[in-house]
Amino acid sequence: MKVDLAVLRTVEMPLKFRFKTSFGETNVKKFLLLELRAGGLAGWGECVAEENPFYSSETLDTAGAILEKNLLPLVLGQETASPGAFDRVAARVRGNRMAKGTVETALRDLFARAQGVSLSKALGGTRTTIEVGVSLSIAPTVEAAIENVGKHVAQGYRRIKLKIEPGCDVERLRAVREAFPSIVLTVDANAAYTLDDTPTLAALDAFGLDYMEQPLHHEDIAGHAELARRIKTPICLDESIRSAADAKTAIALRACKVINVKIGRVGGHGEALAIHDVAAAAGIPLWCGGMLEAGVGRAHNVAIASLMGFSKPGDTSSSSRYFEEDVVEPRLEASDGLMPVPTGPGTGVEVRAGILSRFTTEKREYRT
C-alpha cells in the first residue's frame, strides 16, 4: 500500500462538561486528526496528545512537529507492506508514542478497509460488545460528586471511576461508597501521591475499590511495587506503562495487578497487542483507557477492547456523554453499559466531512 496524501487537521470540539483531574482542567477537546489516503481509500488516526505536557510529555505541538518531520515521510510515497512494517521503520524514532500511534492507527484502519474486514477482526478481537465504565471529573463538592455518580449509574455504566487528588480522596470516597454500597468503584490519582501518602492510600482499602489507578509518579514502577506491599487495594498502572517492556517489568516486580491500555500512550495497536500477550501470559486483566477521544479515536479504542484480554470495563463511554455532535457516524453509543463493536470495514465509522470542517481550525496537506 502506498500512501499518496496525508492530511493533518487540528480539531477543536467543545466538551459537554469540565473535566478536572489532579493534573489539570479542560472544557474543550483539541486534537490532531490524521487522514492517510491510498488507492482511493482513507484510513484515519486520532492523536491523543493534549495541549499541555501534563499527562504525558507529548503535546499537540510536539506530535505535529514529529509527524511532519519524522513520521509522515516514512509512509508518504513509500510502499508499506503492513502496519507492522511501519512500526519497524519508525522504531528509530525514540519515544513520541502518541505521534507514532497516530500513523499506526490510521494505517491499521486503512489496511483493514483494503481487506474489507473490521479492525476488531483484523486485530484478533472476538467480543461483539464491550463493557464500558465512566471516568468522572473531580467534583467541586461531595453532593455534586454523589449526584454525578448517580446519574452515570442510572445510565448503566458498569464501573465508576473517580478522579482523586490529595485533599479530595478518603472522605469523598467514604461518602460515595455509603451512597452506592454495591457499585464497581475505582479511583485514578494520575500520579498525584508519593509513598509518604501511604496512610491515606491505605485508608482507601476500606471502600472495596476494584483497583486504584496510577497513585504514584509515572516513572516509579518500583515505588508502586512497594505500595502494593503496603495496601490491599489492587494497583492498576496507566502512565507508567508505555510499552510491552514496561508491562513485563511492572508485572515481574508485582507493581500492578491490572493494566490500563491506551493505544496512543503505547504507540499504536501493535504495541497494545504486545501488551495484551504479556498480560495474558501473566493472568493480568486489561481495560481500555480513554483520553476524551472524538469519534475516530473512540472507534480505535472499541476495536482493541474487543480482544478477550480486555476483561474489565473501559473508559470508552458513549460519544454523546462528551460531545453534542461527533465527527463520525454512526456515533459510538453504549446502552446499559454495553457498547456494540462496529462490524463494517476498518474502524466501522465514517468521518462526516461537513461536521469535521466546522471543527477544524488548521489543515496541513502532505503529498508525495
Q: For the chain, how far is it from start to end, CA to CA, in angstroms?
A: 14
Those residues whose C-beta lies under 8 Å from the C-beta of residue 245, and which sit 6 or more positions away, are: none
Active site residue 100: no
**Per CB under 6 A, 105 contacts ligand OSB:** no
Active site residue 121: no
| Interface characters, 135-174, with Mg ion (x: CB under 5 A) | ----------------------------------------
Residue from 22, 102, 135, 318 that binds ligand OSB (CB under 6 A)? 135
Give the Å distances, CA to CA, from 72 to 38, 47, 51, 131, 322. Answer: 13, 13, 21, 35, 30
Residue whose C-alpha cell reads 463493536 in the numeric block:
341
The residue sitting closest to ligand OSB, measured at its beta carbon, is 290
Residue whose C-alpha cell reads 467543545 in the numeric block:
14
User: Binds 104, which of Mg ion, ligand OSB, none (CB < 5 to 8 A, cut-off by type)?
Assistant: none
> In degrees rounded to 5, what are phi and psi of residue 169?
-145, -85
Q: Of the listed pieces 37-45, 242-250, 285-293, 329-337, which binds ligand OSB according to CB under 6 A?
A: 285-293
Here the cell at position 91 is 522504531
Count of positions on this chain that bind ligand OSB (CB under 6 A): 11
Cα separation of 103 and 286, whole Å? 24
Here the cell at position 17 is 462538561
Give the Å distances, CA to CA, from 271 to 67, 244, 293, 330. Answer: 18, 7, 19, 27
User: Binds 56, which of Mg ion, ligand OSB, none (CB < 5 to 8 A, cut-off by type)?
Assistant: none
Q: Of the listed pieces 106-114, 204-212, 241-249, 290-298, which binds ligand OSB according to CB under 6 A?
A: 290-298
Residue from 131, 238, 246, 326 that binds Mg ion (CB under 5 A)? 238
Residue closer to Mg ion (CB basis): 35 or 315: 315
**Which residues have a catalytic role annotated?**
163, 262
What is the binding site for ligand OSB (CB under 6 A)? 55, 135, 188, 190, 238, 289-292, 315, 317
